[in-house]
Amino acid sequence: MAAVAPPLTRKLAHLVSLSAAEIEVLHEFQSAPRHIERSREVVVEGRKYDCLWVLLDGVAQRYRVLQDGRRQILNLILPGDFIGFPGCFFENALYSIGTLSDCTLSPIAFTRFLGLSATHPRLAAILFWSLSCEAAMYAEHLIGISRRSAVERIAHFLLELLTRLRVIGLADERSFQLPLTQEQIGDILGLTGVHVSRTLRQLREEGLVETAGQRITIRNAEQLSILADFERTYLNHFRMNEALLPDRPQP
């Protein structure tokens, strides 16, 4: 292959081996890059959409603004993730999606996507599984917010992010860069920005993490994992049950 695989391909290849034809379809999904600036809305809650996108580059957030103005970020969308999925299955989008940095994304006609179950059933199953993963990550997020302290939440958040970013090649061994303010981290974890600041300081003082601008370095992953009750496998928990896939066509 000429260049580095695009993020969606990379993410899925990390999980199952893909046939040439499947890689071709995924490639097509990622072949019409559109650029969007930082702090723009890609999806607005309540509106109707009939198309979805793959994020190719940048970071976006899925969020809801409450009555009283507080904001809850449901999850971070990283390169290789879908946008507008499962939202476009609903009459109206349930959440808004906004960019946190300049982003590149590629549209996929929804009908094209649906047709997949006829033309590439195996790939359709993999994408179906990918939706299951999203549900599971909401559930994990729920557990974290409900039952963990601020230190645990932040520790877990950082480790999860390191893991996700490493899969798509956007983090090195123990550090990564992230276009998030501390207030936004708070909006993800159900904390105030002020308390995120205090808690990060605590983690710094204990020598577990290091922050320099928007770069975060995990200094002691071992210790941090224990603190956060972070299963070192994390993403492996979401490993697909391959026995359920349709037979793979011979290459």
Partner DNA sequence: CGGTACATTGAAGGGGCTCAATCCACGTGG
Partner DNA sequence: CCACGTGGATTGAGCCCCTTCAATGTACCG
Chain residues in the site for DNA (CB under 7 A): 149-151, 181-183, 186, 190-195, 197-201, 211, 213
**From the list DNA, a second copy, none, which binds 229 (C-beta under 5 to 8 Å, kind-based)?**
a second copy
C-alpha closest to that of 73 among 177, 181, 1: 181
- The residue assigned the tokens 């507080």 is 70
Q: How many CB atoms lie within 10 A of CB 10?
A: 16
* Beta-bridge partner residues of 73: 63
Minimum gap (Å) between residue 55 Cβ and a second copy? 18
In one-letter notation, the amino acid at residue 156 is H
**Minimum gap (Å) between residue 87 Cβ and DNA:** 26
Q: Tell whether residue 53 is a contact of a second copy (CB under 8 A).
A: no
Choose the contact partner of 247 out of DNA, a second copy, none; CB within 5 to 8 A by kind. none
Q: How far is the CB of 24 from a second copy (least distance, A)?
A: 21
Distance of CA 18 to the CA centre of its chain: 21
CB of 208 to DNA, least distance (A): 14
Is 190 an interacting residue with respect to a second copy (CB under 8 A)? yes
User: How far does CA 60 lie from the centroid of its chain?
Assistant: 9
23 interacts with, out of a second copy, DNA, none, CB within 5 to 8 A per kind: none
Q: Do residues 66 and 10 lie in contact, with contact meaning Cβ atoms separated by under 8 Å?
A: no
Nearest to DNA of 92, 149 (CB atom): 149
Q: Specify the residue, 213 or 251, whose C-beta has the smaller distance to DNA.
A: 213
Among residues 112, 137, 135, the alpha carbon closest in space to that of 25 is found at 112
Residue 169 CA to residue 138 CA, distance in Å, equals: 23
Residue 131 lies near a second copy (rule: CB under 8 A): yes
Q: CA torsion sign, 198 to 199 to 201 to 206? A: positive
SS3 state at 244: helix
CB < 8 Å & 24+ apart, contacts of 207-214: 208/155, 209/158, 214/177, 214/178, 214/179, 214/180
Of these, 50, 173, 205, 247, which contacts a second copy (CB under 8 A)? 50
Count, residues near a second copy per rule CB under 8 A? 47
User: Residue 197 CB, nearest distance to a second copy (Å)?
Assistant: 19
Return the range that interacts with a second copy (CB under 8 A); candidates 18-26, 142-150, 159-167, 195-203.
142-150
User: With respect to DNA, which residue has the nearer C-beta, 146 or 241?
Assistant: 146
Closest approach, Cβ 102 to DNA, in A, equals: 14
